[in-house]
Amino acid sequence: MLRRIYDWCIDAAHKPYALWIMGAVAFAESSFFPVPPDVMLIPMSLARPQRAWLYALVCTSTSVLGGILGYAIGALLYDSIGHWLIEFYGYGDKVEAFRAGYAEYGAWIILLKGLTPIPYKLVTITSGFANYDI
């Protein structure tokens, strides 16, 4: 299944509306989509180098907006069903300790994420769950 999505993204990079598709892929990848926008950004930039900065700007800005959605997913799921699940399984104390640690070391966690292959979506959703300040 992932291969089909990947192939579709590569094929879409050659379409006239590829910029819009790449923006949608970058937005979705920041919160839930498994394929990174690089599979479109790279071939599009190589095909039209004079537009590479535009492609990078669209990819970056839609990725940031998708990250905000990921943050909201983490925060809203915790507020809606997260409390119930945590209490049901008896992990209330551990989750509060995790949230306190994330509040203290969140900046380091986010910085280290940028230096490792940890998915961006994992950090955005976790930041929302931990109620880390945007």
Q: What is the Cα–Cα distance from 92 to 88, expressed in whole angstroms?
A: 9
Are 75 and 131 spatial neighbours (Cβ–Cβ below 8 Å)? Answer: yes
Range 106-115 average pLDDT: 90
Which run of H or of E encompasses 134? none
Q: Which residues contact 26 (CB under 8 A, 6 or more apart)?
A: 37, 58, 59, 60, 62, 63, 66
pLDDT tens digits for range 38-92: 888 998 898 889 999 999 999 999 999 999 999 999 999 988 888 888 888 888 8
What pTM, to 2 d.p., does this model score? 0.81
Selected residue with higher pLDDT from 10 and 31? 31
Q: What is the mean pLDDT of the chain?
A: 89
Q: What is the Cα–Cα distance from 19 to 44, expressed in whole angstroms?
A: 9
- Indicate if the pLDDT at residue 1 is higher than 70: no
- In the chain, where the domains are located: 2-129
